Chains A and B, each alone.
Chain A
Amino acid sequence: MNWTWFHRFGSAPYMYGFAQRWTPWFGSAALLLMLIALYGGLVLAPPDYQQKDAFRIVYVHAPSATLSLLIYTTMAVTAAVGLIWRMKVAHAAAAACAPIGAWFTVATLITGSLWGKPMWGTYWAWDPRLTSELVLLFLYFGYMGLRAAIEDPQKADKASAVLAIVGIVNVPIIKYSVNWWNSLHQPATRLLGKADMDWSMVWPLLTMFLAFMLFFGAVLLIRLRAELLRRERGASWVREVLS
């Protein structure tokens, strides 16, 4: 197998240029798909037979929740790559993931509680799904706090990578909490094949998932550039990029 691409992504100037080129594409595709999904979800999709129009909160809640887990997984994987191959760019990517993931976890918790009130009669319950998602937020805070507390960047990279990798255990706990324990939260909805929802409700949701993922890609690439500049301030490539 040819690993040239892997080594190329390990080079800070290459990655900076790559991020610069791809951000507008990811960003504009995300915006376009978000608008299409919003129209599909708010206008075209019919009301649910049980939840009526309240079900439409799914179009912001489910993509945020999926991102909160996907971003944590990306953070843990890039941190592991950084630790194993001593790749600075991977550590920078992990550091760039953390604030984005924390924000989407906040969005998940707030939109979920606004959905919970009319459906369950309460904004919050110490339920396995809700509690494990709150733990995810604390893991993001812990990761960012640990990085901020250690002055030496290399030591900060290593310590925070270990925390990110250990914390990954919470991801399957969140995902399967609704199956393993008695939960107020509904189990995962099948969207494809023998779907639990009508296609007119499913396609805007799938579109919104894709839009959120592309948006994460765009914001990650912007934050990665910032992270690379901070780490390599004195490097000659930074002079070339900024001149």
Chain B
Amino acid sequence: MSEFFAMSGYGKYLWPSFAIGFGIVALNLVLALRALSDAKQQAKRRLEMSP
């Protein structure tokens, strides 16, 4: 198992690149969902103001 994480000595480059790469993937989803929920709330507020 420790051999797997060592990645023939390249683990210190490989794991951060996977963490950052897939971290950005996850962040993209979170930011998009947040943008949608903000847009929904703004639109609802606008509709409440002009019934």
- The chain A residues found within 8 Å of chain B, CB to CB, are 27, 34, 43, 47, 52-54, 56-57, 60-61, 64, 99-100, 103-104, 106-107, 110-111, 114-115, 117-118, 212, 215, 218-219, 222-223, 225-227, 229-230, 233-234, 238-239, 242
What are 16 A-B pairs at a CB distance below 8 A?
A34-B22, A52-B9, A53-B8, A53-B11, A57-B13, A57-B17, A100-B28, A103-B24, A215-B29, A222-B32, A222-B33, A223-B36, A226-B39, A230-B39, A233-B42, A239-B47
**How many A-B contacts if CB must be within 8 Å?**
109
- Give the distance in Å from the alpha carbon of A54 to the alpha carbon of B29 in the complex: 28
- Give the distance in Å from the alpha carbon of A46 to the alpha carbon of B9 in the complex: 15
A223 is contacted by which of B9, B21, B35, B42 (Cβ under 8 Å)?
Answer: B35
B44 is contacted by which of A103, A115, A218, A242 (Cβ under 8 Å)?
Answer: A242
Q: Which of B1-51 contact A (CB under 8 A)?
A: 4, 7-11, 13-14, 16-18, 20-22, 24-25, 27-29, 31-33, 35-36, 38-40, 42-44, 46-47, 50
A60 is contacted by which of B21, B31, B39 (Cβ under 8 Å)?
Answer: B21
Contact in complex: B10, A54 (CB < 8 Å): yes
Say how far B36's CB is from chain A's closest CB, in angstroms.
Answer: 4
Contact in complex: B47, A242 (CB < 8 Å): yes
Also in contact, A117 and B13, with CB within 8 A (given A229-B43, A234-B46) = yes
Say how far A46's CB is from chain B's closest CB, in angstroms.
Answer: 11
Contact in complex: B25, A215 (CB < 8 Å): yes
- Give the distance in Å from the alpha carbon of A242 to the alpha carbon of B24 in the complex: 30
- The chain B residues found within 8 Å of chain A, CB to CB, are 4, 7-11, 13-14, 16-18, 20-22, 24-25, 27-29, 31-33, 35-36, 38-40, 42-44, 46-47, 50
* List of A residues within 8 angstroms of B13 by Cβ: 54, 57, 114-115, 117-118
B39 is contacted by which of A27, A61, A106, A229 (Cβ under 8 Å)?
Answer: A229
- For the complex, would chain A's binding face be called helix, strand, loop or mixed by DSSP majority? helix
Say how far B2's CB is from chain A's closest CB, in angstroms.
Answer: 13
Say how far B49's CB is from chain A's closest CB, in angstroms.
Answer: 10
* List of A residues within 8 angstroms of B4 by Cβ: 43
Say how far B22's CB is from chain A's closest CB, in angstroms.
Answer: 7
Contact in complex: A53, B7 (CB < 8 Å): yes
Say how far B32's CB is from chain A's closest CB, in angstroms.
Answer: 4
Say how far B27's CB is from chain A's closest CB, in angstroms.
Answer: 7
Contact in complex: B10, A103 (CB < 8 Å): no
Say how far A75's CB is from chain B's closest CB, in angstroms.
Answer: 15
Chain B: CB-nearest residue to A108? B21
Contact in complex: B29, A107 (CB < 8 Å): no
Closest 4 CB pairs of A and B: A60-B21, A53-B7, A54-B10, A226-B39
